[in-house]
Structure 1
Amino acid sequence: MEHSLGQDSAPGFGSFDKSRVLDVRPLRRLVPVFTSASSNSSSSTPPFVCASPAGPFPPGVSPFFPFFISPESQTRLEQDRQTPSSIPVNSFRTPPPSAAGVTPNRYTGPSNGGDATPSGRITRSRVQQQQQQSQSGVDEEDGFSLSVADGENTRKVGRPKGKFRSQKRTRTSQDFNVTFPDVDIDAIVDNILSSYTNTLSESEGSKESVGYVLMYYDLLRRRILQIEEMKEGIPGVLRTGRPDLRAATLFMNKGIRTNAKKKIGTVPGVEVGDIFFFRMELCLVGLHGQSMGGIDYMGIKNSSEEEPLALSIVSSGGYEDHMQDGNELIYSGQGGNASNDNRKDKEIKDQKLERGNLALEKSLHRGNEVRVIRGVKDVFHPTGKVYVYDGLYKIYGSWVDKGKSGANVFKYRLVRLPGQPEAFTLWKSIEQWKETNAGRPGLILPDLTSGAENVPVSLVNDIDGEKGPAHFTYSPSLKYSKPVKLTDPTAGCNCSGGCLPGDSSCLCIQKNEENLPYTANGLLVNQKSLLHECGPSCKCPPNCRNRVSQGGLRVRLEVFKTKDKGWGLRSWDPIRAGAFLCEYAGEALNVSGIESLGDDRADDYSFDANRTCQPLGVLPGDSIEGPNAPFPLLISANTAGNVARFMNHSCSPNVIWQPVLRENKNESDLHVAFYAVGHIPPMKELTYDYGMILPGNPYQRKKLCLCGSVKCRSFFY
């Protein structure tokens, strides 16, 4: 189904009868409504309005083609609303390995010849608890359950089907004091716009501008989500809507986007294999201009009239598509009632050769390239989708077929152009590796950790004959040989049921500037100078949402041999921006302890938490100069460590490191945790900035940088 938002994407072909009333049925049956941003925007971009197909529309906005539909159709739409079941709160949590009694496992590798490079705020009555959602963004992407007061009566809106399970209690005023932060979202967006204008005014459509837009969009979305989550289960407070749509509306109204002008073929700055977790991300970078419609197209002049040509399609299971072949796609047209719902009382309607269907037919005869985005099931959350850009295809045939409903459906055969990097085919290969556990080319060990982690870590070399890195003991956590006493004694929180957002009585929340640092689905909201997690002295359970970095690995990783940087680290699974990856495990040393390692390996497989580096996971205007450890911490992973020791340096990294202090009575329990800067596709090397060592450090060694980034400094320490 196609929805057009904005004048640029509305069908403007003279052959169309725009007075026709269409039965418009969106793929995802949501009713997101946001008022447009303030009219004092400095941008010349027309305001972006995200409204439901039948209203209500924001003040001053009238229903427009093709959004106007009959009241009967809207009634059927509401009756047929589908909302997936919720995932239990904190279902992503697992007990820390140490709690499960995991002991270090010894990896026996070559005795020598190892890697020489360190890898090393509008309130209304709310009486029903907002259900927690999963990391797949179900609450943000697929709908939510609300109860709102209407005078003395309470009515339920959009009640999800299925039985919800939640570990979280409904809050009452007697539970604790709830504090809502005074956050000016408009000011944040203005700061983003200012930074965007100053740094990327001449980089429209570049990889840098695409990365900038996506990173700051998701940072803003997470910040809005953090604020919204404080309202959960509080009587008298209502969440204001989906953070993903609200953030996108703000960005569109301010003109914070790239590749705004539609084009056929490749989109500058977007690479084959790039992944997206929200449809609005596709719009912001110009990959697919329809926030809900599956076919995006534009008018091309042909002699005296215009004809529509298809630009891109999204195939995500909403229609009867055949998408198992990695290089060929049988795509179903839009309209009629060919979508994959199972209602038996629907009127059978044939699809018509108009709008997107006509555009695909015209593209068949013209032979233009069409971008294909495939929606793939989220491996962690079955209700979620990951959108994978699978590259350019051409249409080689079309026909009319009978759908499951008995209606006529247009079918289009698309074939992938050769010479493009793997994308969907790579996902299918990874599925096979997981199933057989032996089909990975170059596999040396199926599990480098020998069971020390929640998930196996493969060891792979498809470059040369080296059989693995030098011998080391695999240890999943950081060990302190001597306790580090705190100057000022601290106490843990008393949140016996787990820390909840907005609880101003929680000591751990107080230390985190009155906010929980993580969203309900375990994503870091933003990088901080120092993050305070619950620890051994806290009364909260192991699955408390403020213990994210303590549960070990969640994504399937592999240690692999690189072409020129020794051993590296990458993931078989897609990684979402803000997701926790791992901590840097090893032995905590005093500053002078590095001497014991020997001059030849003094800084190999070691981490200095007092290095300086530019913060990446923060919004413009946030007061952070970078990670700041409260005391000198040096971690050696030479003889014992985990996968973090294999992460290589990059001057344009996709991973950030974060000092995490866990409450442990009067002793300091400082750790170094790694989080994704943006969405990371499978098999993309994971890298972070090693940072700069303070001048005068006798053990700093300048090394040649081979990251290949356009921002490469040519060296690192």
Structure 2
Amino acid sequence: MDKSLYPTEAELLKSFDDDHNQIEGTSSPTPLMDTPFLMDITESGGVSDEAHNTTIPFPPMDSSFLTDIPFPEFGGVNDETQNATAYVPRMNTPLLMDIPFSESGSVSDETHNTATPLPVMVMPVQTITPFNDSNKDFLPSDAGPSIGVIKKGRGRPKGSKNVKGSRKKQKTYAANSRVVISNPNFNSGIMEAEKKNGNQEVVDLVLMRFESLRRRLCQLNCGKSVLTTALTNCRNLGVRTNTRKRIGPVPGVEVGDIFYFWGEMCLVGLHMQMVAGIDYLTVKDGATEGPIATSVVTSGHYSDETEEIESLVYTGHGGTDKNGQAVDQKLVRGNLALEASKNKGNEVRVIRGEEDPNDKKKKIYIYDGLYIVSDYWTAIGKSGFEEYKFKLVRKPGQPFGYMNWKSAERWRKCSSDNSRKGLILADISQGREASSPVPLVNEIDENNKETPGDFSYGNSQLFMSRTLDLHHRSIGCSDCYGRPCSIHEDPKCYCIMKNGGESPYLDQILVYRKPMVYECGDSCACLLECKLRITQNYLKIRVEVFKTEKCGWGLRSLEPIRAGTFICEFTGMRKIIEEVEEDDEYVFDTSRFFNPFRWNCEPELVGEDCWEQVSEVYNIKSRLLISARRNGNVSRFMNHSCSPNVMWQPIESEENREPCIRIAFFAMRHIPPLTELRYDYGMSQEVEEEDGTKVSKGSKICLCDSEKCRGSFS
């Protein structure tokens, strides 16, 4: 094998303290490297983006000498990242790494100079226990994790302005920072090969764990450092993938995928730069050497012309000096990389930043596929100084990305029956969904005006028969009269205490899957707009019923859906098994076998003890059967998938002073507009194979076409 493919160690850089004084006898943790990649490509060293005047820090590594430095915002995306802190070690030993740098100059988390344990996949948890006589009582596992303060270590002493090589007093970490420097016992479940080159399953896992960590940190009131801490902990503990930078597509990232935070793109290798909008590699091609662009992000900092679907005029970076004064942009770093990409004709990934329709102050990033830089020029910008303009043209034959976003945006504003292709009904709910109408669309056959079978639209549960619990004592929260329940205003609120002393929701997002989520009911004195009544307020998002190619009618959203967002309740007729018709295909049955998966935050990711993990085993006293055959809402149109993007959660609240369990659907991950919403129907039977293993099987053939398709369902 050609040994030139391996990284070679070079001369160590000199080490300096925080005041730029050289420290004698101490080497920098960043050796000069020469690592070939593709066309003898190595990544360029850390840079400071002129547009932000921000120096990108190295991620923390396991070391006993630590200090804190300002961590930059994620491209100015979210104010939560201001005044955040990251931690940088000083090391006395050289590092030998495989592609150790990102464009921000960051060091790969894969190398900590510690022994790497053998990769062992994280054991999944069971999502539901089918009802039987041995588990009919409630489990004491619905309490949330402790929110007690954890202790942190001390930082690396800083240098002094007066004495060369002197040390200042050590600085302790903030008690509520929740930054995890290292955890030798933590196993990310991601193999070393998958960290360099991922796949869709690993990408979904990384994004799901980052989002669960972010939700938990918000619940712990970590303030503005939430995003920085979540990103830092994921990088430190190896929850990342596609660390090997590349030109072209990124394994596991699909065209049209959306990202709510800049850091999410970094963790999955779509765009490595922490702040700058242009990411690039340094290419060694014969005697010439220079940067070449890999991806660009439009985020509104410049006057980018982004309205065109198949092309983009991108404004280069820079144009601001150290004092914040406007100057001419220069053909250096990212600008030089785009100019080189125009000459070489290589593919450049384009991510478009768009305003979040549900939060005008924030952005959502849409991966729009591969583009080619076709031209560039200079022009006078709004500041009166020269700017570089780069025209990028989208390669044909790719799935829709930004086009779907703009189409959904247009259809959300559509009010005319004749302005939508294939529109059959403007509102299948007939006004019963107060938030918005639910269109019925057939784009496959525009001439076919057939509507779904005979059913009545209803957004609440009905009962054929109901057994009253004579021992139930109706108790609701009484101290919240005339206001929403709040753990800050009334930590002893009865409904909050039932949820383990923590609210199950944060900013209308589900924080944890739990054995049971308890919401306020008609015995409570709080407002109907209470934060503990999220699933009782019907549809919150714009959806439509549409004709699919193979699975009849389906349901999709007209707007982006954030992970943990409530979508709808499964409504219909509550029945017992004797009342269910044999050919009823619209039955939700909690006794089925469901594929296990982990959705909650792992305590180790936030520095908590592993025993504080919230149980994800649903605890339902008796079998729950709901039929939407003759009465139901939009949930009856959701199809099955073995790789779902929607999950269900049991909710208990009081109705007519009686406890009532309902089934609520939440987004399992971020869902782009016009993506079909699907959940796992489960399996009706469990069969033992010849080797003794038990396999769940269903009675219907599955057509979900996912890589993890089980072949049957229900």
1:278 aligns with 2:261: yes
One-letter amino acid of the structure 2 residue matched with residue 493 of structure 1: C
Over 3 Å counting, the alpha-carbon distance change for 1:8 and 1:690 in structure 2 is farther
2:358 matched to 1:371?
no
Q: Residue in 1 aligned with 2:385?
A: 407
Of 439-448 and 381-390, deviating more is 439-448
> In 1, Cα distance between the equivalents of 2:246 and 2:444?
39
Residue 708 (1) aligns with residue 705 (2): yes
The 8 Å contact of residues 32 and 241 in structure 1, kept in 2 or not, is answered as no
Q: 2:249 matched to 1:252? A: no
Structure with more strand by fraction: 2
User: Once the 2 structures are TM-superposed, how far is the Cα of residue 664 of structure 1 from its aligned partner?
Assistant: 4.2
- Classify the secondary structure of the residue corresponding to 2:588: strand
1:380-529 to structure 2, matched below 5 A, reads 380-437=358-415, 438-453=418-433, 454-464=435-445, 465=448, 467-486=450-469, 487-494=471-478, 495-496=480-481, 497-501=483-487, 503-519=490-506, 521-529=507-515
AA of the residue aligned to 2:235:
M
Change (3 A) 1:22 1:610: closer
The answer to whether the 8 A contact 2:408-2:674 is kept is: no
Q: Deviations over 1:98-124 (max 9, x none)?
A: xxxxxxxxxxxxxxxxxxxxxxx599x
On the 8 A contact 1:615/1:626 being kept in 2, the answer is no
Aligned partner (choices 581, 604, 611) of residue 592 of structure 2: 611
The 2-side partners of 1:317 and 1:301 are apart by 33
Structure 1 stretches of at least 4 aligned residues deviating more than 6 Å after TM superposition: 6-13, 18-23, 31-35, 46-50, 53-57, 64-68, 181-185, 187-192
Q: Show the 5 A alignment for 1:324-335.
A: 324-335=307-318
Question: In the alignment, is residue 683 of structure 1 matched against residue 667 of structure 2?
Answer: no
Matched residues in 1 for 2:600 and 2:617: separation? 10
Aligned partners of 1:193 and 1:511: how far apart in 2?
33
- Offset at 1:436? 3.2
Give the CA deviation at 1:592. Answer: 2.6
Report the counterpart of residue 312 of structure 1 in structure 2.
295
Q: 1:655 aligns with which of 646, 652, 655?
A: 646
C-alpha change, 1:444 and 1:414, in structure 2 (3 Å) is same
Residue of structure 1 equivalent to 2:661: 670
Structure 1 residue 395, shift from structure 2 partner: 0.6
In 2, the alpha carbon distance for the partners of 1:9 and 1:422 equals 41
Is 2:546 the counterpart of 1:557? no
Would the aligned equivalents of 1:372 and 1:390 in 2 still touch at CA under 8 Å? Answer: yes
Judged with a 3 Å threshold, the aligned counterparts in structure 2 of structure 1 residues 10 and 312 are, in CA distance, closer, same or farther, namely: farther
In 1, the alpha carbon distance for the partners of 2:206 and 2:265 equals: 11
Greater CA drift, 413-422 or 621-630: 621-630
* Alignment match, 1:356: 334
Count of residue pairs the alignment pairs up:
566
The DSSP-based 3-state class of the residue aligned with 2:360 is coil
- CA deviation after TM superposition for structure 1 residue 242, in Å: 2.9
Do the aligned residues in 2 keep the contact of 1:35 with 1:49 (CA within 8 Å)?
A: no
Deviation at 1:39, TM superposition (A): 4.2
Query: Which residue number corresponds to residue 96 of structure 2?
Result: none
Three-state SS of the structure 2 residue aligned to 1:296 is strand
434-443 or 275-284, larger mean C-alpha shift: 434-443
Determine if the alignment matches structure 1 residue 544 to structure 2 residue 530: yes
Tell me, what secondary structure is at the counterpart of 2:280? strand
TM-score (norm 2): 0.72
Summarize the Cα distance change of 1:189–1:224 in structure 2 as closer, same or farther, 3 Å threshold.
farther
**2-side partners of 1:684 and 1:516: how far apart?**
30
Q: Is the 8 A contact 1:476 1:585 kept in 2?
A: yes
Deviations 1:654-686 (A, max 9, x none): 100011001347512111000011001111111
Amino acid at match of 2:684: I
Report the equivalent of 2:578: 592
- Which amino acid counterpart does residue 609 of structure 1 have in structure 2? T
- Partner secondary structure for residue 492 of structure 2: coil
2: CA distance, partners of 1:457 / 1:627: 31
**1:466/1:321 CA distance change after superposition, 3 Å:** same
CA distance in 2, matches of 1:452, 1:463: 27
Q: Which has the higher contact order (CA 8 A, sep 6+)?
A: 1
Q: Give 1:35 shift.
A: 9.2
Distance 1:677 1:203 in 2: 25
Describe the shift of the 1:525–1:357 C-alpha distance in structure 2 as closer, same or farther (beyond 3 A).
Answer: same
**In structure 2, C-alpha distance between the alignment counterparts of 1:326 and 1:189, rounded to whole Å:** 46
Match of 1:542, as an amino acid? L
The one-letter code matched in structure 2 to 1:435 is K
Counterpart CA distance in 1 for 2:658 and 2:344 is 71
- Aligned-partner Cα distance in 2 for 1:512–1:566: 39
d(CA) in 1 for partners of 2:451 and 2:46?
67
Q: For the residues of structure 1 that align with 2:665 and 2:674, how far apart are their CA atoms?
A: 17
Task: Confirm or deny that 1:209 pairs with 2:196.
Answer: no
Q: 1:368 to 1:197 in 2, by over 3 A?
A: closer
Going from structure 1 to structure 2, the CA distance change for 1:461 and 1:334 (only over 3 Å counts) comes to same
CA contact (8 A) 1:606 1:638 kept: yes
Shift of 1:275: 0.3
| CA shift digits 1:104-161 (9 cap, x unpaired) | xxxxxxxxxxxxxxxxx599xxxxxxxxxxxxxxxxxxxxxxxxxxxxxxxxxxxxxx
- Inter-CA distance 334–61: structure 2 relative to 1 (3 Å threshold): farther
The separation in 1 between residues aligned to 2:258 and 2:46, in whole angstroms, is: 37
**Residue in structure 2 matched with residue 534 of structure 1 by the alignment:** 520
Task: Report the more deviating stretch, 47-56 or 240-249.
Answer: 47-56
Alpha carbons of 1:9 and 1:511: their partners in 2 closer, same or farther (altered >3 Å)? farther
Note closer, same or farther for the CA distance 1:549–1:303 as it changes in structure 2 (3 Å cut).
Answer: same
The answer to whether structure 1 residue 51 and structure 2 residue 35 are counterparts is no
Evaluate the alpha carbon distance shift between residue 261 and residue 21 of structure 1 in structure 2; reply closer, same or farther with a 3 A threshold.
closer
Distance 1:33 1:661, change over 3 A: farther
Shift of 1:554: 1.6
Matched-pair contact (CA < 8 Å) for 1:530–1:658 = yes
Matched residue type, 1:506: C
Amino acid aligned to 2:199:
S
Q: For the Cα contact (< 8 Å) 2:459–2:571, is it kept in 1?
A: yes
Q: SS of the counterpart of 1:241?
A: helix
The letter for the 2-side match of 1:618 is N
Kept in 1, the 8 Å contact 2:104–2:273? The answer is: no
Partner of 1:290: 273
Q: What is the aligned counterpart of 2:555 among 556, 569, 573?
A: 569
Query: 2: distance between equivalents of 1:20 and 1:515?
Result: 42
Deviation at 1:310, TM superposition (A): 0.5
Provide the residue aligned with 2:19 in structure 1: none
Instruction: Tell me the percent identity.
Output: 41
Instruction: Indicate if the aligned counterparts of 1:192 and 1:216 stay in contact, CA closer than 8 A.
Output: no
SS in 2 for 1:249: helix
> Could you say which residue in structure 1 is the equivalent of 2:190?
196
Contact 2:646 2:677 in 1 (8 A): yes
Residue in structure 2 matched with residue 85 of structure 1 by the alignment: none
Question: After superposition, what is the alpha-carbon deviation per residue over 1:426-460, rounded to whole angstroms, capped at 9, x for unaligned?
Answer: 22222222333343321111211111111111111
- In structure 1, what is the Cα distance between the partners aligned to 2:474 and 2:685? 30
Post-superposition CA distance 1:530-574 (Å, at most 9, x none): 111111111111111111111111211111111111111111111
Q: Which whole-Å deviations, capped at 9, do the CAs of 1:460-491 have from their partners, x for residues lacking one?
A: 11224361210111001223354443444251
Change (3 A) 1:498 1:374: same
On the 8 A contact 1:509/1:515 being kept in 2, the answer is yes
Unaligned regions of 5+ residues in structure 1, if any? 1-5, 69-120, 124-180, 229-238, 339-344
Look up the equivalent residue of 2:425 and give its one-letter code: L
**Residue 279 to residue 11, structure 1, CA distance change in 2 (3 Å):** farther
Q: Is the 8 A contact 2:62 2:182 kept in 1?
A: no
The whole-number CA distance in structure 1 between the counterparts of 2:575 and 2:350 is 51
Maintained 8 Å contact 1:373/1:390: yes
